[in-house]
Structure 1
């Protein structure tokens, strides 16, 4: 995994200059499972706002997921106590978030513990359970979706969840299903996923497959009008229920952050050049693709 260097983005999964539709899994050290940074207070407050406005849009679950949800919360609280002491406090059945001062009664979330888990950290949580057609999304605290709707994916197997992802069925569907079957509780993994968007909002439920040109985005202002959106995703099997917990930690940085790293601008441009047309369409790059390329060409030329 490529982490932040001075002046650059936190993660740069395109740094090798190649595009590949692949799982890209690497081992995860449990101490690095939860990623907390200086955006924590603002992002937790945004989660609270979204949950208050329309809870079902960002949290939902299916009957039978209650025990696995409670298992996730126990694992999370143990991890925070061990590796991030001070982020939350637990006393007399109440959990308090340090940065926001918000407190939650554990008993109030006994049947929807994943909801509480999502309120304590910047990560989103998705619970996957074995089904007849593969692993099914059984419960989720998903406040920061990348252009998809929880209501459309809950109860669906992996293949159907990703049916609109260009190349997924042909290249990744079966390998992902096999990996899920063999994932061990003591071998958690992580991967990175990236995209370019024209909206910095963390909560996005639509916007894929756009083609209409956005004349407002130019090579001169692309650095301020476009954002790099990177998801740090982790996968781990829950030892008691056997379900798989999928977490998503989202980072959004203005494209202009690459002006301090012309090498990464060159790598991103090369990756985009190799990205299949179907994937570019899926990611809605056509509206600003030309302006983006010319911007990256200018920035990357500084590396020479």
Structure 2
């Protein structure tokens, strides 16, 4: 069996004026899911969460049955086609060679089974009277939001707490969901800085002070770049959109490997509007972060000035 590749390092932050946009790119089906050396550990964490906290990580609304079944069929077909060394199917039995597990289709919920095959979380979005609706999910690695608070709601309400979403992104997102065509896979990146590396984080938004423990001495180890690689694909039979979210967590000392990157990240953070900084809970460790970034760029004369710079460009907006 061929070895798993190294985790891909995404650095989506960049300088430029802050803006909110979907910033979608197209990806081939072979690149739909990211499978790497963290696979077995993340699948083990999913198993524990589904066994001990199922109501927090899995939900399905009435009317999503056909979409959940179709989602499993498409995920399995893609994995068997593009990763036949690791995944196979014989009749109604799906086999995962990476974890040495096998399942009979129908023995567990199809969306749960799909989520047990990939490192991504999987959400279903279906058309409703009030626009695209969030109808089902296998969501083991939320980025500071609770499934119970979002399931069954239109996307406009799901993203209601996100600063500026209603004014700037609600209509473009709803329009995209209506017009996404089968066979096309769209992708985007979303990033945050957190003082907690846990994958399962159902809470923690809007913190303004205290409790981070981050200092200039430990910021490189204790502040983490959390990146969501999000993909969207129309399921042709049910018409639902399968929204997949792969979460990557990197300590900053891995991400910031040059003075130029230190300057870029400081500029990106500084340009976030105050509402976004509060929403992302940056305030408890922002000062230590800036000081650490600045200290890392001094040797080449670049300074990550917390009072200057901007953020934006592709992949920088928060949509959850």
| TM-score bin (small chain) | over 0.9
Return the match for 1:278 from 269, 275, 278. Answer: 275
Alignment check: 8 A CA contact 2:80 2:89 kept: no
Structure 1 residues 233 and 215, CA gap change in structure 2 (3 angstroms): closer
> Taking structure 2 as the reference length, what is the TM-score of the superposition?
0.88
Moved segments of 4+, more than 4 Å: none
Structure 2 partner of 1:121: 118
Structure 1 residues 76 and 303, CA gap change in structure 2 (3 angstroms): farther
Q: 1: distance between equivalents of 2:211 and 2:230?
A: 30
Q: 1: distance between equivalents of 2:87 and 2:197?
A: 28
Q: How many residues align?
A: 296
> Taking structure 1 as the reference length, what is the TM-score of the superposition?
0.93
Alignment check: 8 A CA contact 2:40 2:98 kept: yes
Structure 1 partner of 2:76: 77
Return the match for 1:203 from 180, 200, 203. Answer: 200
Structure 2 partner of 1:3: none
Alignment check: 8 A CA contact 1:213 1:286 kept: no
Which residues in structure 2 correspond to 1:186-265 (within 5 Å)?
186-214=183-211, 216-265=213-262
Deviation at 1:303, TM superposition (A): 5.0
Structure 2 partner of 1:20: 19
Q: Which has more helix, going by share of residues?
A: 1
Aligned partner of residue 260 in structure 1, secondary structure: coil
Greater Cα shift, 196-205 or 19-28: 19-28
Structure 1 residues 9 and 125, CA gap change in structure 2 (3 angstroms): closer
Deviation at 1:87, TM superposition (A): 2.0
- Structure 2: gaps of 5 or more residues: 1-5, 302-320
Structure 2 partner of 1:66: 65
Structure 2 partner of 1:103: 102
Q: 2: distance between equivalents of 1:158 and 1:253?
A: 29
Q: 1: distance between equivalents of 2:30 and 2:61?
A: 30
Structure 1 residues 276 and 9, CA gap change in structure 2 (3 angstroms): farther
Greater Cα shift, 94-103 or 160-169: 94-103
Q: 1: distance between equivalents of 2:297 and 2:274?
A: 23
Deviation digits for residues 153-191 of structure 1 (CA, Å, limit 9, x no counterpart): 110001100110011011111111111111111222100
